[in-house]
Amino acid sequence: MPSPELAIRELQQVTDAALAILTLDELLRELLDRIAAILGTDTAAFLLLDEVAGDLVAQAAKGIEEEVEHGVRIPVGRGFAGRIAAERRPVAIEDVDHADILNPILREKGIRSLLGVPLLVEGRVIGVLHVGVLSPRHFSDQERDLLQLAADRAAIAIEHSRLHAQRNIVEALQRAMLPSALPMIPGMLLTARYLPAAVDACVGGDWYDVFELGRGRIALVIGDVVGRGVEAGTLMAQVRTALRAYALEGHQPAAVIDLLNRLFGAERPVKLTTLAYLVLDPEAGELTLVSAGHLPPIVVDPDGRARLLDVEGDPPVGAFRSAAFVERRVPIEPGSSVVLVTDGAAEVRGEPLDLGLERLRVLCERERDPRALCDLIVRGEASAGPSDDDVAVLVAQIQPLPERLSTRWPANADALGGLRHLLRRWLAGHGAGPDETYDITVAVQEAAANAVEHAYAPGMAAFSVDAENREGLVVVTVTDRGNWRDARGENRGRGLPLMRGLMESVDVEPADGGTSVVLRRTLAGS
């Protein structure tokens, strides 16, 4: 037998070099070959613990390959391997005939003597490594220690390989859960990034989400499930979906988080999620915010000044079932941005969080372009280099509307909502009262709906809407590529009379290759 140091160095080379390229099964088989050669044994086998069932399961074997093929399972505490796992110490059997052996394959193979050691990671048993010989043999203390050293190396390699596999699963889960594309909302610029942790063990439950709530309101969510790995990833998926469901049911923001807390507060062991849920209403110029133990959102005002929003000291979701969440409303102007991040964007270990938040605030003032800002944040500009935690960042900017509106839309009924919300914002900016805004919006929608209905190739065609304010006279022009036809048939065709009733004048004019509907109305306040 070679010196233990030499033997271990040889094993170490295998594990280090192999980790990058071998699958777990390949790695284990490679290790078994080396171990059997070093110790001069006929068989060698790895059994790994199935924590749910409490069984050891044959994972790789040399000389007794049937163990793996038959999927041999040994309950912890029973038989040779089960004893090693239960007692967390090496066990040697000199004569198999006089021992409690559960696995018939060992006897059938004619194995006479066995030596086994536990696979331990930070004191936890993750499996058993055992070797066997066909002739009776007494294993020395030195051989026992060598096998244990080999097992310790193997345990680390197995754990790494599992974490790596887990990382792939979590990353796939995260990719599937994050919006594949942010919604296109006219008058809004939305940007987001997610960067998984640089360290395998830290990939976890950060997420962001953006969805429309109707009436022009936009839901912005950022959150972080406390914990790591597959468990955090799957919980994140549940929290994200539940939040969407409650929000789309029409609950107020604080009620959404209350319901979420009641749903996940019953989990044992306790699972915590910090999150910020914001409802942005660009028409009303208002932001409603609930924070469940999350970092405060940052608002960048149109003049470039960035400020942290005060958040109530509400606990994370899942902490206390009786927690009540408070929503705050803050005014927000066109040209403002809302910046939402997770811990990894600002946190530096051993440093007060306030310092990180201040760096982040200053960064938001320095970089005004939302896309560039997102890139800087995930690159660790405010957290002193790449984070060993996940980083998620979401920036929503209410784009200022130009004096003269000039827009183009797909000829699709789904475009009508976006047009309506944009037009309301534009009209409000020109001093239109609520009734005037309502009437003009309905009239423009009628013209747009007609363009949608008569688009000859759905999905292909487009229409344009231009709006200008000529000293108090609002003129909106809706142009499409078809001929004007008022809808016919029973209970149709009310579009044109409605437009005429709501506006001062409605002119249907031929325009190059299509039709323009020109709608005019003088604002009372002008």
Partner 1 sequence: MTSVIRVEEQRHGTTVVASLDGELDASSVGDVAVRVRRLVQNRELRLVVDLARVTYMDSAGINLLYAVGDELRARQQQLHLVLAPGSPILRTLAVVGADRSFPVHPSLDDALAAG
**Binding partner 1 by CB under 8 A: which of 337, 446, 506, 518?**
446
φ, ψ for residue 336, nearest 5 deg: -85, 155
3-state SS of 391-405? EEEEEEEECCCCCCE
Beta carbon of residue 86, minimum distance to partner 1 (angstroms, whole number): 56
Out of 421, 430, 454, 521, the residue judged to bind partner 1 by CB under 8 A: 421
Per-residue string for binding with partner 1, 152-181, x by CB under 8 A? ------------------------------
Quick one: which of 253, 252, 197 has its CA closest to 227? 197
Both structure tokens of 189: 């610029």
When asked if residue 413 is in the footprint of partner 1 (CB under 8 A), the reply is: yes
Taking residues 355 to 394 in sequence order and writing x for each that binds partner 1 by CB under 8 A, - otherwise, the string is ----------------------------------------
Residue from 175, 368, 492, 510 touching partner 1 (CB under 8 A): that is 492
CA separation for the pair 262, 273 (Å, rounded): 13
CB of 224 to partner 1, least distance (A): 27
What is the C-alpha separation between 505 and 510, in angstroms, rounded? 16
Q: Residue 289 and residue 297: Cα distance in Å, rounded?
A: 9
Is residue 193 a contact partner of residue 378, using CB atoms and an 8 Å limit? yes
Task: Identify which of 29, 40, 32, 49 has the alpha carbon closest to the alpha carbon of residue 1.
Answer: 40
Beta pairing, strands 298-300 & 337-341: antiparallel
Q: Is 425 a residue that touches partner 1 (CB under 8 A)?
A: no
**Sole binder of partner 1 in the list 442, 462, 475, 508 (CB under 8 A):** 442
What is the nearest approach in angstroms of partner 1 to the Cβ of residue 495?
Answer: 5
Which CB atom, from 379 or from 500, has the smaller least distance to partner 1?
Answer: 500
- The CB-of-165 to partner 1 minimum distance in angstroms stands at 37
Nearer to partner 1, 112 or 500 (CB): 500
Q: Between residues 180 and 491, which has the closer beta carbon with respect to partner 1? A: 491
490 touches partner 1 by CB under 8 A? yes
Contact flag: residue 449 with partner 1 (CB under 8 A) = yes
Window of 68-76, 97-105, 377-385, 448-456 that interacts with partner 1 by CB under 8 A: 448-456
- The angle formed by the CA atoms of residues 231, 235 and 237, to the nearest 5 degrees, is 120
Measure the CA–CA gap between 34 and 151, rounded to whole angstroms.
12
Q: Does 248 bind partner 1 (CB under 8 A)?
A: yes
Site size with partner 1, rule: CB under 8 A: 35
Distant-in-sequence, close-in-space partners of 218: CB < 8 Å, separation ≥ 6: 183, 185, 188, 210, 211, 212, 279, 280, 281, 282, 396
Residue 436: in which H helix or E strand, if any?
helix 434-453
Give me the DSSP letters along 129-164. Answer: EEEEESS--PPPHHHHHHHHHHHHHHHHHHHHHHHH
CB of 183 to partner 1, least distance (A): 9
Q: What end-to-end distance do the CA atoms of the chain give, in Å?
A: 100
Q: Is 485 in the site for partner 1 (CB under 8 A)?
A: no
Q: Which is nearer to partner 1, 400 or 501 (CB)?
A: 501
DSSP three-state, residue 52: coil
Q: Which span (38-46, 92-100, 299-307, 413-421) binds partner 1, by CB under 8 A?
A: 413-421
48 three-class SS: strand
Task: Provide the minimum distance between the beta carbon of 435 and partner 1 in the complex, in angstroms, as a whole number.
Answer: 6
Nearest-approach distance from CB 454 to partner 1, in angstroms: 12
Residue tagged 């955090």 (tokens): 232
When asked if residue 212 is in the footprint of partner 1 (CB under 8 A), the reply is yes
Q: Which residues pair with 268 in a beta bridge?
A: none
How much of the chain is helix, strand and coil, in % rounded to 5? Answer: 35, 30, 35
- Which DSSP string do the residues of 458-474 spell out, in sequence order? TTT-EEEEEEEEETTEE
Which of 2, 40, 110, 434 touches partner 1 (CB under 8 A)? Answer: 434
Helix (H, G, I), strand (E, B) or coil at 120: strand
How far is it, in rounded angstroms, from Cα 359 to Cα 489?
64
420 binds partner 1 (CB under 8 A): yes
User: 67 or 446, CB closer to partner 1?
Assistant: 446
> Which of these ranges, 30-38, 40-48, 105-113, 418-426, lies near partner 1 under the rule CB under 8 A?
418-426
- The reply to whether 491 sits near partner 1 by the rule CB under 8 A is yes
**Lookup: tokens for 426:** 């534009």
Q: How far is the CB of 510 from partner 1 (least distance, A)?
A: 23
Near partner 1 by CB under 8 A, which window of 22-30, 152-160, 398-406, 449-457? 449-457
**Residue holding tokens 């040994």?**
74
Query: Cβ closer to partner 1: 312 or 453?
Result: 453
Binding footprint of partner 1 on the chain (CB under 8 A):
212-215, 248-250, 413-418, 420-421, 434-435, 438-439, 441-442, 445-446, 449, 452-453, 490-492, 494-495, 497-498, 501-502
